A and B are shown apart, each in its own frame.
Chain A
Amino acid sequence: EAQVTQNPRYLITVTGKKLTVTCSQNMNHEYMSWYRQDPGLGLRQIYYSMNVEVTDKGDVPEGYKVSRKEKRNFPLILESPSPNQTSLYFCASSFGAEETQYFGPGTRLLVL
């Protein structure tokens, strides 16, 4: 089944404790992206990747890191999480930047 998977789905952590949210797709998509969703603000793009080893900043990259070592995986890293990074995070992938995006199920993060 074609899908985008994210892990974990729910995470409670404390300020400053490094964490990684994984994202994997099995559709051989070149384009992958991370978003955060907050009430009243919609979806805001954090980082995106056009292909392996090619990443670029979205609108809200501060406090986040990403890597794209393999085509299928695009992990989101929070080196030192802070409470303002409490949010719902979505990973998405597509064949190209202007193609239909397929979203993962989301990861709900709470930083205390």
Chain B
Amino acid sequence: GQQVMQIPQYQHVQEGEDFTTYCNSSTTLSNIQWYKQRPGGHPVFLIQLVKSGEVKKQKRLTFQFGEAKKNSSLHITATQTTDVGTYFCAGQGGTSYGKLTFGQGTILTVHP
């Protein structure tokens, strides 16, 4: 079945440093979504990418969808303590429409 691998599992940065998390799918995706989960909270939608090679920005966050629609990345410029949390990618594709496969998540810690 479809697998979505996400790396790294953990990332510790100093406030002001950049951060990137990567997702790779075993199959071509129809779309990929990114979510953020604050400690003790529930996942909250950040963005969805649909087109091959798509790049979207939200303030300090940049999201990319690979040309082959099998990989994606989230880059945060100049991290802040409010960026702390777990970032998940979630992909849809393959033969099971409606099935959503999440990556394992990257836990981001930002040291002030």
A residues adjacent to B (C-beta < 8 A): 31, 33, 35, 40-45, 48, 50, 56, 58-59, 90, 92, 97-98, 100-106
Contacts and interface: CB of A to CB of B under 8 A. Distances in A.
A35 B102 contact: yes
B88 A90 contact: no
B99 interface: yes
Given A40-B9, A42-B105, A97-B92, A102 B100 contact: no
Interface of B: 1, 6, 9, 30-31, 33, 35, 42-45, 48, 88, 90, 92, 96-105
Contacts of B96: 56
Contacts, number: 60
Contacts of A102: 45
A33 B97 CA distance: 13
B104 A42 contact: yes
Question: Which one of B33, B98, B105 has the highest number of Cβ atoms from chain A below 10 Å of its Cβ?
Answer: B98
B104 A103 contact: no
Nearest to B89: A42
A36 B99 CA distance: 14
**Closest 8 A-B residue pairs measured CB to CB?**
A42-B104, A43-B102, A97-B98, A103-B42, A100-B45, A42-B102, A42-B105, A103-B43
